[in-house]
Amino acid sequence: MEDALITAVVFTGIAALFKIVSDAITRNKLINKGMVDEKVKYLFADLGRGQRLSNLKWGTVLVGIGIALLVRQMAPFYVSDSSTFGLMFIFAGIGFLIYYGLSGRSSRDQQNQP
């Protein structure tokens, strides 16, 4: 299981790195060509808030998966290897539900602000 986890983390990291670099290159090209006017500003208007909500989502999901693995480590005789995956999905689902509630509250707060 550790080998699969390491492989997944490495490939996800490489994909994230390519995305970050390609986005930066695109932004620099737009800025250098002077295309940063009203037509393009909408692309970057809500970037900070969306990034925070995305980080919140994956943070809650990964905390849920970590709790599942912690439960597996603390109770090895009560939780079998096959049920560890079930626990991971249950806690990841709980993390998504927590994110859904927090993002809904955040969007309502955002709409109420002038």
Co-location of 86 and 54 in the same domain: yes
What pLDDT was estimated at residue 95?
Answer: 87
Residue 17 is assigned to a structural domain of this protein = yes
Co-location of 104 and 53 in the same domain: yes
Residue type, 35: M
pLDDT digits (tens, 9 = 90+) for 43-79: 665 555 566 778 888 888 888 888 888 888 887 777 7
Instruction: For residue 39, name the pLDDT band (cuts at 50, 70, 90).
Output: low
Cite the DSSP H helix spans in the chain. Answer: 2-32, 38-44, 47-74, 81-112
Last residue in a domain, options 30, 45, 60: 45
Own/partner pairs for 55-61, CB < 8 Å, 24+ apart?
56/99, 56/102, 56/103, 57/96, 57/99, 57/103, 60/95, 60/96, 60/98, 60/99, 60/102, 61/92, 61/95, 61/96, 61/99
Residue 53 is assigned to a structural domain of this protein = yes
Q: How far apart are CA 94 and CA 87, in angstroms?
A: 10
Domain hosting 19: range is 1-45
